[in-house]
A = this chain, B = another copy of it.
């Protein structure tokens, strides 16, 4: 029987997944953080940040076997545990615990996507920023404003203005 998971150390700016590849892994973040991003017309658009004890992946590629349209890259020196899809499914058949674990990972990943997706429909840019401050402070604390702005769906300058408005209240 092969290894279920592999522990790997990555330097900053090393890729876990590149656009065009098929994502066959779930990446469990042990230390550091990473992000997924798109490059559109030369501009970097960050779509997610993943921190310690979270699962990073491109669920669409992982689920369908299609090529990934986004990248996963280390934002800091990173320690990740890589769960290979095939091996995960294989071992899941033999162990109900692994099966449950894997299913919970996907479910919580889905729940988080749903939560973040709703932010853009329900709240203004400023309210989205405040939501992160309250519920996901690690994003605010560890991600630079330049990188955070595209995640919030706004320009860097607007994010700067939002912070300014808040401090003057």
A49-66 to B contact mask, C-beta < 8 Å, 1/0: 000000000111011100
Chain B's closest residue to A70 (CB) is B118
Copies of this chain, tallied across the complex = 2
Q: Check B153 against A121 for contact (C-beta < 8 Å).
A: yes
A59 to B110, CA, bound (A): 7
* With contact pairs A106-B110, A111-B63, A111-B64 given, residues A45 and B122 touching in the complex (Cβ less than 8 Å): yes
Chain B hits for A151, CB < 8 A:
121
A122 to B151, CA, bound (A): 9
- A108 touches B (CB below 8 Å): yes
Residue from A114, A118, A150 whose CB has the most chain B CB atoms within 10 Å: A114
